[in-house]
Amino acid sequence: MKLAVVGGGSTYTPELIDGFARMRDILPIEELWLVDTDPDRLRLVGGMSERMFRAAGHTGRIVPTSDLVAGVSDADAVLIQLRVGGQAARHGDETFPHECGCIGQETTGPGGFAKALRTVPVVLRVAETVRAHAKPDAWIVDFTNPVGIVTRALLQEGHRAVGLCNVAIGFQRRFANLLGVDHTAITLGHVGLNHLTWERAAFVTDANGTHDALPALIDTHLGELAEEIELPASLITMLGNVPSYYLRYYYAHDEVLREQLGSPTRAEAVQEVERALLELYADPSVDTKPDALAKRGGAFYSEAAVDLIASLRSDRRDTQVVNLRNNGSLPFLPDDHVIEVPAIVGASGVEALPIDPLPDDIRGLISHVAGYERLALDAAVHGGRERVVRAMMAHPLVGQYDRAEKLTDLLIAGNRDHLAWAQ
């Protein structure tokens, strides 16, 4: 099969390569095309990827290219991992909201909205090229944040797309480690929107059948779970579930803001990590995934991507957590909204598993953020300051009209080069 990675010059890419090499039995790649607009990164990451494949005994061909059409032509699947504006734009996302007393973050709040506005038009142009030149049944796998909004943009335009995040697979691995079982024995009761999710169950299958191990996990490992997500143990006990780390931006907003105001941004830290990684990638003697790559983020990204693409191509019909159309799964949301839940994955697509009713507090927060996401996508597709203000005000981490107006003006001023309607 031919697989294309758009944004293949990312320092993340060797994480993917490592997974592709280790799991080649379930994903037999003959050609892997790395597509990127940065020739220097493409050269370094492409060379590193080639050495990793050869060192692992993988016979697949790696082709770095800046030609999107060539990269996706006749592809069986296309993985999109773009960062429009690079780490410089991310630094802006993580700082401009501070002027209005809001958290700065690249996937949620005002910063996440800025990223959506920059990203959606670019991803849609890429997807049109995929539609025109890839195989007719090719899948687009979106790993580009904000995944929920970007995936809905793709589905809204009729693309054969599914969104992917590594939060769920990270919890699966952590729970398995705490329970002393193989991660394949665990199925999560994961529910919500991308970067707004809760683990409501951890179903373990063994010789005695299937049982929910989450209550016991909370009882015996409460302190470790609380430390992992950086939220109070009493909150986990009250909820009876484990919220993802991203819920910290909602449940502990003011504490997070104080931390951010006294610390360098994540973008600044990542820039340092990336410089070190690119130096390693330039070394012709380095042919395995560097330990330093763990500092870049994206843990288990390669496993999630390989599992998803393999199941879409080979009809394994296993259960994975993905971003897909709601289609009644959460009855309080429109059918065309994108949710993040466990689904059966096969050649015909993805189908959400049944979801137990949600408590009022979780349902209310999901509904609130979903309303913002719909307005945010409308602004990303159609542009216009008024649309941006309306979406900004709808976000639960903003909420006030005067604040939304000021944040909108800051957002536009910092992203004018990426917003065609604002130039």
**Do the Cβ atoms of 152 and 336 come closer than 8 Å?**
yes
**Residue 305 identity (one-letter amino acid):** A
**Strands 2-6, 196-206: parallel, antiparallel or unpaired by DSSP?**
unpaired
DSSP H helical ranges for 23-108: 39-55, 68-72, 86-93
Lookup: tokens for 223? 């302190």
Q: What DSSP designation does 289 have?
A: -
Query: Looking at residue 369, what DSSP letter applies?
Result: H
User: Which 8-state DSSP code applies to residue 122?
Assistant: H
Tell me the percentage of the chain whose pLDDT exceeds 70: 99
Tokens 């953020």, residue located:
369
Residue position matching structure tokens 């693309």: 159
Average pLDDT over residues 264-279: 93
Catalytic residue among 246, 281, 301, 372: 246
Asked if 302 contacts 16 with a C-beta cutoff of 8 angstroms, the reply is: yes
Asked if 417 and 114 touch (Cβ cutoff 8 Å), the reply is no
What DSSP character marks residue 423? Answer: -
83 is in an annotated binding site: no
Residue 329 CB partners (closer than 8 Å, separation 6+): 339, 341, 352, 354, 355
Whole-angstrom distance, CA of residue 33 vs CA of residue 213: 41
Q: Coil, strand, or helix at residue 323?
A: strand
- Whether 243 has a pLDDT exceeding 90, the answer reads yes
DSSP state of 144: P
Q: What does the buried/exposed string (b/e) look like for 205-222 if buried means 16 or more CB atoms within 10 Å of the residue's CB?
A: eeeeeeeebbeebbeebe
Give 3-state DSSP helix, strand, coil % of the chain, rounded to 5.
55, 15, 30
Segment 123-171, tens digit of pLDDT: 999 999 999 999 999 999 999 999 999 999 999 999 999 999 999 999 9
Instruction: Please report, for residues 28, 33, 163, 366, 415, the alpha-carbon distance to residue 60 in angstroms, rounded to integers and kept in the order given.
Output: 8, 10, 25, 42, 39
User: Which distant-in-sequence residues (6+ apart) come within 8 Å of 110 by Cβ?
Assistant: 93, 96, 97, 100, 102, 104, 392, 395, 397, 398, 407, 411
pLDDT confidence of 301, banded at 50, 70, 90? confident
Res. 296: pLDDT tops 80 = no
246 flagged as catalytic: yes
Report whether pLDDT(300) > 90. no
pLDDT tens digit sequence for 336-393: 999 999 999 999 999 999 999 999 999 999 999 999 999 999 999 999 999 999 999 9
Q: Is 195 annotated as a binding residue?
A: yes
Q: Are 353 and 344 in contact (CB under 8 A)?
A: yes
Q: What CA–CA distance (Å, rounded) separates 384 from 187?
A: 43
CA dihedral sign, ordered 99, 101, 105, 111: negative
Q: Distance of alpha carbon 97 from its chain centroid, rounded? A: 21
What does the alpha-carbon distance between residue 195 and residue 105 come to, in Å, rounded to a whole number?
Answer: 11
Share the mean pLDDT of the chain: 95
